[in-house]
Amino acid sequence: MKNLKSLIVLLLILCLPVVVVAQEAARVSKVEVTGNERVDTAVITNSIKTKEGDAFNLDKIREDMKNIYKSGFFSDVQIDIRDAEKGKNVTFVVIERPPVKSILVSGNKKIKTDDLIDKVKVKTGTVLNTEKVKESMDEMRKLYSSKGYYAAKVTYEIDYGEKYDATVTFVIDEPQQSYVRKIAFTGNKHFKDGTLKGYMQTKEKGILSWFTGSGILDEDALGQDRRNVEAYYHDNGYTKVQVGVPDVILSKDGKSITITTAIEEGVTHKVGTIEFAGDIIVPQEELLKRIKSKPGQLFRTTIFYEDVLTITDIYQDMGYAFAEVSPTTMIDDNNHIVNATFNITKNQEVYFNRINIVGNARTRDKVVRRELKFAEGDRFSITNIKDSKKKLKNTTFFKDTDFKILKTDDPKKVNIDLAIEEKPTGTFSVGAGYSTAEQIIVSGSVSEDNFFGTGRRVSLEAALSSYTNEFRLTYVEPYIFDKNLSLATSLYNFKRYLDTYDYKRTGGNIALIKPLTDTVRGTVKYRLEEVTVDVTDIANASTYIQAQQGTSLTSSIILSLTKNTIDDIMNPTKGINTGVTVETAGGPFGGDNDFVSINGFYGRYMPIKFMESSFFVRGTLGSIGGYNGKEVPITEKFYVGGLNSVRGFRYGEAGPMDSNDDPIGAKNQMFFNFEWIFPIYKPAGVKGVLFIDTGAGFDSWNSLRMRTSGGAGIRWFSPLGPIRLEFGFNLNPKEGERTSLFDFAIGTQY
């Protein structure tokens, strides 16, 4: 028996290599696909994970079979496995679905068939793919939801023809149009519903829904709304807030939608300790000064991540283009604080190598390069790149600019690829309209802001109304002899018709403009102008008006200093625009009129998180006086009232008037504008504005009587240029004064 056991063990040992060899031989020697006629083989093999030479795994092969079927192109998939000399041959046998002969839509009345067909992922002549059919159904439902038909049902039917083809019919069951009537929250103890609604894209239906599209439920937008509300809580110290999935309830009649979101606020956390680790090449005291997060303050996520960018910018401005700042936070629930550490890796210091400009088919390279705040060979600075992007944007020549930082073979150098998307810079517009201030207005303009791609600006404008006629030709040379010095010149002819007199101004000016810093500019301008005052109603004109009749010549020098830090001249949201101007006429400059005037203004935009809106405040103060025994001409005085000063009043009505209620101008002016600017329809750039103006024109401080108005308006940066439509109310009208005034402007920056 003992010998028998030894013999068996010996036989097993001898057979072991055979078993191993057999296991090693169980490999996939070949993978094939058969049965497909229209579907490319490569499309099928992309779903197959089993490869030639792999160990034979039946479970993995079955998974491949399921993946092929899930592609939607086949009605059946089988596996054929055969032994071969080097292993197993695996063949996937597929049976294709029929080709799509036609696509039909039925049951739709509210949305056009062509609009629904555009959402279909299946195309005629291709193999029927049921997965694509299902995707098409989802897209159709989304289209209906975007139109207010939230509960639309979409099904499909497939009819197989005699020639082995298929007709796909999408069947629509259109519901009652429904709108979001109520948005509510539960569990929000520290923030009101109205505050949270302000951070949602989804809005309740309102009186302007026909224009703004509010009241429409978009599921994707609702998901983003949830994240926005959560982010708002995080930004106010609630680091562990829980915002639930919105509960959407459709009313029984299908007309109203109620959205309710449950919130668990938790407690607020404050900033605890702030530490820096890694490559500390800037004194920690300096870093602490530069960041906004401070110990003891509420922990705000937006400020915290702004601090990450601030530290990154500090290092990148020192040449470390690829500096990395990795923040870590530790929440101390016992003390309700968040301890933060900024981990810094500076990496290699680098310099600008080549600057490659692409996409400027029309604009010359030098026009682009002279707006850049850096040059080849300079040490890398991210701030200079950002400032360059802003400067290029404010030229208004480009739709978009994209700076790409590319590594080179030299680790100390980077290339910059500047991709530019140009936009049309020439405009031609003709318009007509009506306002209570100007009555019938006909206007037209031809302008080119990037003349032959040189950056030069040329414009010709004309406006005719019942009260004014104006013609103006302007030319601007932005860089004289390629120097950082601009030349601007203008010729004009302006005439205004008033009740008892008219006046005409014909002349021109030439100016030199020198940037003193990135935001400050100095200007020297010479003006030469002939002024004619014509009394048209001598019988009713006041003595003062009659004394103005005649023609005179004004020759003056104007000095001005301005500062502009506004972020976007097309869509301002933050920054200041301020300046002071001094003009001296007559005396050593000749002419008939001798006067000195000074005028200053300060305007500031302040962004507001609510509705992504902004607040704007502006103050203006000016004074003018004659010398050499001469009076100030009526045409040089300040006329307060109108679209650009105190709205709700006509031109000059917020200042001195003669016995016939004609504006006669003032020697001094002071007015203030307060505006809340908010988006109405973002895709088109339409904004609303609520305003309060106060101010007056006056001859002495004793005669100062501030006039006040309030109102609302719409602003739109249209293809024809900026449009302002504003309705102002005189809040303290005198006897006989109008109580309101509608006014508008086209093509005027605001």
Q: What's the CATH number where 696 sits? A: 2.40.160.50
Return the pLDDT at 3.
53
Distances in Å between the Cα of 382 and the Cα atoms of 31, 310, 349, 375, 387 are 53, 11, 13, 13, 9
Return the pLDDT at 71.
84
Q: Smallest Cα–Cα separation from 233: which of 261, 263, 204?
A: 263
In a domain, 111, yes or no: yes
Return the pLDDT at 23.
45
**Domain identity same for 680 and 565:** yes
**Domain identity same for 467 and 615:** yes
Distance, in Å, from the CA atom of 654 to the CA atom of 696, rounded to the nearest integer, reads: 5
Q: Is-contact 59 66, C-beta < 8 A?
A: no
Return the pLDDT at 130.
86
Pairing of strands 426-435, 439-451: antiparallel
Q: Smallest Cα–Cα separation from 292: which of 267, 280, 309?
A: 309
Domain around 42: 24-96
**Domain identity same for 29 and 125:** no
**Domain identity same for 612 and 679:** yes
Q: In whole angstroms, what separates CA 434 from the centre of its chain?
A: 31
**Domain identity same for 415 and 432:** no
Distances in Å between the Cα of 103 and the Cα atoms of 72, 112, 125, 204 are 17, 14, 10, 37
Return the pLDDT at 521.
96
DSSP 80-129: EEEEETTEEEEEEEEEEPPBEEEEEEES-SSS-HHHHHTT----TTSBP-
In a domain, 157, yes or no: yes
Distance, in Å, from the CA atom of 316 to the CA atom of 715, rounded to the nearest integer, reads: 39
**Domain identity same for 201 and 120:** no
Distance, in Å, from the CA atom of 555 to the CA atom of 334, rounded to the nearest integer, reads: 76
Q: What is the 3-state secondary structure (H, E, C) of 667-707?
A: CEEEEEEEEEEEEEEHHHCEEEEEEEEEEEEECCHHHCCCE
In a domain, 2, yes or no: no
**Domain identity same for 151 and 223:** no
Distance, in Å, from the CA atom of 238 to the CA atom of 41, rounded to the nearest integer, reads: 54
**Domain identity same for 412 and 279:** no
**Domain identity same for 495 and 363:** no
Q: What's the CATH number where 125 sits? A: 3.10.20.310
**Domain identity same for 476 and 565:** yes
Q: pLDDT digit string (tens) for 444-489? A: 778 898 998 999 999 998 888 777 888 999 999 999 988 889 999 9
The answer for residues whose C-beta is within 8 angstroms of residue 690's C-beta and 6 or more apart is 675, 676, 710, 711, 712
In a domain, 247, yes or no: yes
Q: Give per-10-residue mean pLDDT for the chain (750 aa).
A: 49 46 67 88 90 90 90 87 89 90 92 92 87 92 87 91 87 90 94 92 84 80 93 94 94 90 95 96 94 95 95 96 95 95 96 95 92 94 94 89 94 95 79 56 81 92 83 94 92 88 93 93 97 86 85 96 89 93 96 96 92 93 95 93 91 87 91 95 87 96 95 84 86 88 64
Q: Among all chains, which residue has been given the structure tokens 């500090």?
A: 314
Global pTM reads 0.64
In a domain, 492, yes or no: yes
Q: How many domains does the chain have?
A: 6
Q: pLDDT digit string (tens) for 401-449? A: 999 999 999 999 999 999 999 988 887 766 555 555 556 667 777 889 8
Asked which of 226, 244, 264 is the last residue of a domain, the reply is 264
Strand partners, 489: 475, 510
In a domain, 569, yes or no: yes
Residue 314, exposed/middle/buried by CB under 10 A (0-12, 13-18, 19+)? buried
Residue type at 238 in one-letter notation: Y
Asked which of 232, 264, 296 is the last residue of a domain, the reply is 264
Q: Is-contact 644 726, C-beta < 8 A?
A: no
**Domain identity same for 161 and 300:** no
Asked which of 345, 375, 403 is the last residue of a domain, the reply is 345
In a domain, 6, yes or no: no
**Domain identity same for 587 and 673:** yes
In a domain, 16, yes or no: no
Return the pLDDT at 14.
47
Q: How many CB atoms lie within 10 A of CB 268?
A: 16
Q: Among all chains, which residue has been given the structure tokens 């000064």?
A: 289
The answer for residues whose C-beta is within 8 angstroms of residue 681's C-beta and 6 or more apart is 211, 212, 213
